[in-house]
Amino acid sequence: MEPTQLLLIPEPRRVKIRGGFVKLDNSPLTVKGINPDFIAIMNACCGSLPGLNPQFNGELFSEYHSELEGTNGNSLSPDILIRAKQDLTPLLPTLSEKQFNFGQEEARAEGYRLTIQDSKNQTETPITIDSETVNGTRHALFTLIQLICQFDKILPSIIIEDAPAFPVRGVMLDVSRDRVPLQSELLNTVDLLASFKINHLELYTEHTFAYQGHKEVWKNSSPLTPTEIRELDKHCVERGITLAANQNCFGHMHRWLKHDTYQPLAEITGDWSFNGFPKSGPFSLCPGDPGSIKLVQDMLDQLIPCFSSGIVNIGCDETYDVGQGRSKSAIDKHGAFKVYWDYVSQVMNIVKRHNARPSFWADMWLGTKSKFREKIPEDSIGLAWGYEPESDFAKWCKSLGAKKRNIWVCPGTSSWRSITGRTKERRVNISRAVSEGVKGGSNGALITDWGDMGHRQQWPVSLNGIVEAAGAFWAGGISDYCEAAISLHAFGDQELSIGKWLNDLGNADSELRGFKGLGDKKSKSRQVKNATCLFVDMEAPLGIEPFKKRVEGWSTVLENLDKLKSSMPKSRNKQLSDELKLSLETAIFACEKAILRRRRNEIFTLKPAKLADNLNEIKIEHKRTWALRSRPGGLDDSCQYYEEILKDLKENG
């Protein structure tokens, strides 16, 4: 039996197809060389993997016992032999040095060799795994599980040799705008991420941790509790994932500062400019107010002990309001960087007093002179983020000194402010982050999934981007993105169609967005960034036109969406099907509203009242699907965006 294309995420660096196959008759498969607790954890993960046949859930592996006898009375050999602490040095020279940005010792620590014998060779154990560490063993077993997902128990005879490009391959999920996942959802997500060889996770937090003494801030958000975080941390550790603490400690504090109790700590409460965009109301803590550091210390003293990782993301990004309010005189006297750094260094020192390591969003540092960037502590982690195809990770790695500091590249899933995702932009953004990160000396990569404006994208849209990034972070940009593999392993789609369908959905309005693909010289002049045209037009009141797009262009988008409706994937998972359908129906609503906006002076069959009815149905379904994965806190805030659209349709239709 010759295998068809191997559907593996990440795609291995080296595969040798030997010819022949092995049939695994035992159920569960017996494993020799690892302890029972490790086997139990791997079995528990199987229950969260959608591509695995349900008959294997919870019982794919069992511990080998030498007293097991075959039909001839002799001891049975194990199905899988783990040979730990093996020297993988011979593996590494076969892989180009350019594919690694860190020492071979680190690469070997997560590397593995997976050998599947031909059934004709009766003298050998069917499957052997060579690795230097338990992490390498885990990665090999997850690769084996993916092969079982594809081939069931008749596996091709192959040798896979593999090791990662980045030592840190992370995911950041936004749990503050506005979704806080159910605890069960977080635990299942960790299992799934581990199967894609992700080894770092953080939950972006502004106000959704249950801090003692601050219930006023989080009482309506269904926050994560210390007990839940400790449970999640243990779950992550058992699966080889570092769970980092995350709390924005400077900007993005409006959920705190809107309350009278905390508003005196705000930099400004009136009008200000967010990098050129008009804003109003509190946003950042005032860096010169002693109460700001006192509040941050209270938060971090409660938060950090819940995590075992010793890594704390302190945020400190986009503090554009600082200097437009109470700090103006200090900045006029000392300069913006000194005021910023004096505050941030105090936050970092709080982290270090907990014997932890601070990470931070590096955007504010990139706007400073090089002599100031030299002040970045070498024991911190700088996060260079950008979510557009033109995001210049090469320049940022050089500016931040990635060759001598810990700098991670941070692309995005492009799911937020989109409904559909932005496939073309996402793919170039991830590809560029990985390739330029490898060349620039970055030692980590973090895919971010934000929830701006109500977190109204559905989880499959986000997951599609997360899984693509997981594959790229491991392979270092040397492998092709495989829609069929994502369909199978991320969504359990035996028809292998969901990955392509989601990507087509994310390209439905790409012509209007103006981005053609890698090498597009006009991409910097695009009118729409960090959003789809569908999303921007959906949010805009009928009385204005957010950008000049002819109605013919929108008609083409509607045709694209109608084609996607007729090719909707059929999944055995009803929840998944409902989320895909809701994404499509919301996009169709947005497109029909865009056409109505441009034909208001014509006799047009689609009326505002009908659009309002459609949106009401979308809102109802949004609430229903929300409850399947997320806590109730934040739902009202998310639905308020739809309420504003409904109000506009009724008043201006």
For 488-521, what is each residue's pLDDT tens digit? 999 999 999 999 999 999 999 999 998 655 445 4
- The string of pLDDT tens digits covering residues 557-574 is 999 999 999 999 989 999
Q: Which CATH superfamily is domain 184-361 in?
A: Glycosidases (3.20.20.80)
pLDDT of residue 217: 98
pTM of the predicted model, to two decimals?
0.95
Q: CB under 8 Å to 555, separation ≥6 — which residues?
A: 595
DSSP secondary structure code for residue 388 in this structure = S
pLDDT at residue 76, rounded to an integer:
74
The whole-number pLDDT of residue 101 equals 47
Percentage of the chain surpassing pLDDT 70?
91
The pairing of beta strand 200-204 with beta strand 168-174: parallel
Cβ proximity of 518 and 424 under 8 Å: no
CA 306 to chain centre: 22
pLDDT band at 67 (very low <50, low <70, confident <90, very high): low
Cα dihedral angle (4, 7, 10, 14), rounded to 10 degrees? -10
Domain boundaries, the chain: 14-162, 184-361, 374-653
User: Cα–Cα distance between 535 and 526 in angstroms, integer?
Assistant: 15
Checking if the pLDDT of 602 tops 90, the result is no
In terms of CATH architecture, what is 14-162?
2-Layer Sandwich (3.30)
Distance CA 171, CA 416 (A): 15
Query: Tokens representing 165?
Result: 């490009």
3-state secondary structure of 600: coil
Equal fold, 14-162 vs 184-361: no
- The pLDDT confidence band at residue 122, using thresholds 50, 70 and 90, is low
Q: Work out the percent of the chain whose per-residue pLDDT is above 90.
A: 79
- Grade residue 99 by pLDDT with cuts at 50, 70 and 90: very low
Residue ranges of alpha helices (H) inside 507-634 are 510-513, 533-539, 551-566, 574-598, 608-629
pLDDT at 367: 77
The per-residue pLDDT for 102 is: 46
Write the pLDDT tens digit of every residue in 396-447. Answer: 999 998 778 899 999 999 999 999 999 999 999 999 999 999 999 999 999 9
Residue type, 405: R
Mean pLDDT of 236-250: 98
